[in-house]
Amino acid sequence: MGGQSAKDSARARHVAIIMDGNGRWAKRRGLPRSLGHQRGVEAVRRLVRSLEPMGLECLTLYAFSSENWKRSEDEVDDLMNLMRKFIKSDLPEFVANNVRLKIIGDWQGLAPDIVGMLEDALAQTANGKQTLAVALNYGSQQEIARAAAKAAAIGEITTESIAAQLDTADLPPLDLLIRTSGEIRLSNFLLWQSAYAEMLFVDTLWPDFTPEMLEQALDDFAQRERRFGGR
């Protein structure tokens, strides 16, 4: 990719989003954080339903980081229960709409019942045409370390051998990374994959993020000149 230089008139294939701002959304309205997370799930649902008309091959969402365990026990419990409800309620829709679920991160470290639900969801959606990748118990530095260790066990450590062992190895290259809520940092998310990705930081809090906003971001992306280190 190092020498490429072209006007990218094609739509993005793979978009990732750091979904930030649920707590602030709730606080501004005098509501409990749990309700902010519930509204955040509704925003996820809206985007998933828009995958096909937007033509995206993959949408990757940062749902729960390896650092999120530091939050209060009540908030972590709320997030885990929301995950359970989302899988139960939305899995049939995933299947019906040919959406493949993929989980990245150390998700096997979650509660056994959630792991079982995820394994079932992965099996049921395995043949989907478009992918929703969800980062659960995920940290990018940890992912890179795991991938490097696997590459070393196989043979020579190169950028290619590490990339082949990343959680996202079977996904299209990351084109665009979006973070909501006005924060301008990556928070240990897709550090390797973001090397040449375009980035967009928006002030909108995650529960207010709409498919129309993503559509506008895709339109803007299509107009960007991506140099990949060239001139």
DSSP secondary structure code for residue 135 in this structure: E
Q: Which amino acid is at 159?
A: T
Query: Which residues belong to the active site?
Result: 20, 68
Virtual torsion, Cα 45, 48, 50, 52, nearest 10 deg: -160
Yes or no: say if 179 and 201 are a contact pair by the CB < 8 Å rule. yes
The CA distance from 13 to 57, in Å, is 5
Residue 110's alpha-carbon distances to 4, 50, 72, 125, in angstroms, are: 41, 28, 16, 20
Helical ranges in the chain per DSSP H: 22-28, 33-49, 51-54, 73-96, 112-124, 140-154, 159-163, 211-222
Q: Which two tokens stand for residue 27?
A: 């606080």
Yes or no: say if 3 and 230 are a contact pair by the CB < 8 Å rule. yes
Q: Is 3 exposed, middle or buried (0-12, 13-18, 19+ CB in 10 A)?
A: exposed
The CA distance from 198 to 200, in Å, is 7
